Amino acid sequence: MEGTNTTVFIGSFAHSTWDEALKICQDMVIGVHKGKIAFIEKKEKLPCLMQEHNLQENWIRHLGEREILIPGFVDCHNHPSQFYNCGVGYDMQLLDWLVKCTFPLEAKFKDNKFAEKAYNAAVSTFVRNGTTTAAYYATIHTDATLVLCDIVDKIGQRAYVGKVCMDQNDAYDYKETTKESLQETERFIKTVQQRKYRLITPIVSPRFAISCSEELMKGLAHIAQKYDLPIQTHINENKKEIDTVKKLFPNKTYAEVYHSMGLLTKKTILGHNIYCPPQDIALIKKQQSGVCHCPNSNTNLRSGMFHAREHLNAGVKLAIGTDISGGCSVSMFNAMRYTTGISNLVSDGTLQTKLVDYKEAFRLATLGGSKVLGLEEQIGNFQVGKEFDALLVDISQEWNQPLETVDHWTEMFSKLFYIGDDRNIKEVFVSGRSIHSKNKPGSTNKFTFDQ
């Protein structure tokens, strides 16, 4: 192994598998070479590993007693263009909030300088809070969306980035023509492909059925198929929204509308899906589409309470998203906590339904998210051959006290889950590269990866 591309971590890590929602492994050795996990072994095998892989002592990083590696968070539904609106308009419901707060803000992104400032602030904040992979909705502006791609690429985050598409909107003058939307979507896709960003994938992004004509939705489905790309949109979020969809498309459920347009594929990410009839769940499962639960947003805009267990029992791929700025927190810790809280509430106190506990919420925010994005073979947990997308977290901070009564790592992880935040995140890695660190320049714990 080459030293400039190799680091060996010795200590504890926690992750999820499909069989075990939370698996904590102590006294382990993880070798990272050229951004990927080269080996995972018990600590006692270190002498053999040193010899087998020709490892050098200065490549080794020893984790502290209360430090642990976890997979980077995967935020599957996020609007960085709305970052400046966090905390605004939560006395409204969805459709009024869009017209009065969201569309006016997004319209400002026609100015690339404004876009650069806003997107820099948003993406750097998401990364600082441990989001290593995100599915981003930008705005209808192609050039500003490319600015977002440049910023994501410079910072080093992994992302799906979409130019938002909408050709009908009677309440606010924020829309495109159908022809323009389709042409600009293709221009965006081709430009992203030409620029060869290492960790960015374009994603086709019709906003939702209310703001998109049939011609536009069918055209976007064709583009997604032509370029073999993922799709993201919103579904079954708000009762008034659903009633409007019913008027626009009589005799069809929301999922049936998308299916009839060709938008329901195995690469589709459906945000919200709160009020989902059984036939929609069955159709989503049949089409192998994924659903992203956005609990913070659902609460703030009074949209409703999502039944995560119903989707999991049906075998639907499920993830979690912050949904900025319907959601008011950029933190996936917050999204996970809201997920468990909503699960507690929809159980109605009967315990007849299995709750989504903190362990399963952690899996949804990591491995579950990777599956919804179709990246489960690349990221989501720690396995040999996968990309090293990881967070180094410290559970010895003062707000995690008292440590004297907590000796078991499972209890420590529970404390991290329920009261942890960005202050616990010491370092963020994407594809083996440190893209955020709290260490001061010159610190012996500061690692860089020359790739």
The more confident residue out of 56 and 445 is 56
E strands, 103-253, are 131-137, 158-162, 164-165, 200-202, 205-206, 231-235
Residue 120 has pLDDT above 60, yes or no: yes
Question: 195-230: per-residue pLDDT in tens?
Answer: 999 999 999 999 999 999 999 999 999 999 999 999
Under the banding of pLDDT at 50, 70 and 90, the label for residue 242 is very high
pLDDT at res. 405:
58
pLDDT at res. 350:
62
Taking CA atoms, 202 is separated from 86, 256, 317, in Å, by 25, 25, 21
What DSSP string runs through 304-320?
A: ----HHHHHHHT-EEEE
Q: Hey, what are 194's tokens? A: 């030409």
At position 120, the amino acid (one-letter code) is N
The DSSP bridge partners found for residue 15 are 23
Give the residue from 70, 130, 71 showing the smallest Cα distance to 409. 70
Give me the sign of the Cα torsion angle 392, 397, 399, 402. positive
Residue 401 has pLDDT above 80, yes or no: no
At position 34, the amino acid (one-letter code) is K
Residue 447 has pLDDT above 70, yes or no: no
Rounded to 5, what percent of the chain is helix, strand, coil? Answer: 45, 20, 35
Residue 128 has pLDDT above 70, yes or no: yes
Residue 437 has pLDDT above 70, yes or no: yes
Phi, psi of 284 (to 5 degrees): -60, -45
d(CA 18, CA 61): 29
d(CA 80, CA 85): 10
Question: 155-200: per-residue pLDDT in tens?
Answer: 999 999 999 999 998 778 899 999 999 999 999 999 999 999 999 9
Question: 332-364: per-residue pLDDT in tens?
Answer: 999 999 999 999 998 766 656 788 999 999 999
- Core vs surface per residue 160-172: b (16+ CB within 10 A) or e: bbbbbbbbebeee
Q: Hey, what are 292's tokens? A: 């992203």
Residue 451 has pLDDT above 50, yes or no: no
Average pLDDT over residues 31-47: 97
Residue 73 has pLDDT above 50, yes or no: yes
Residues making up the chain, counted from first to last:
451
E strands, 377-424, are 390-394
Could you give the 3-state DSSP secondary structure of residue 89? coil
**Where do the domains of the chain lie, and which CATH numbers do they carry?**
3-71+381-437 (2.30.40.10), 73-372 (3.20.20.140)
Average pLDDT over residues 125-135: 98
pLDDT at res. 55:
92
The DSSP bridge partners found for residue 268 are 231
pLDDT at res. 448:
33
How far from each other are the two terminal CA atoms of the chain, in whole angstroms? 13
Taking CA atoms, 27 is separated from 9, 24, 76, 295, in Å, by 10, 10, 32, 35
d(CA 264, CA 236): 14
d(CA 77, CA 350): 31
d(CA 333, CA 270): 21
Read off the DSSP letter of residue 365. Answer: I
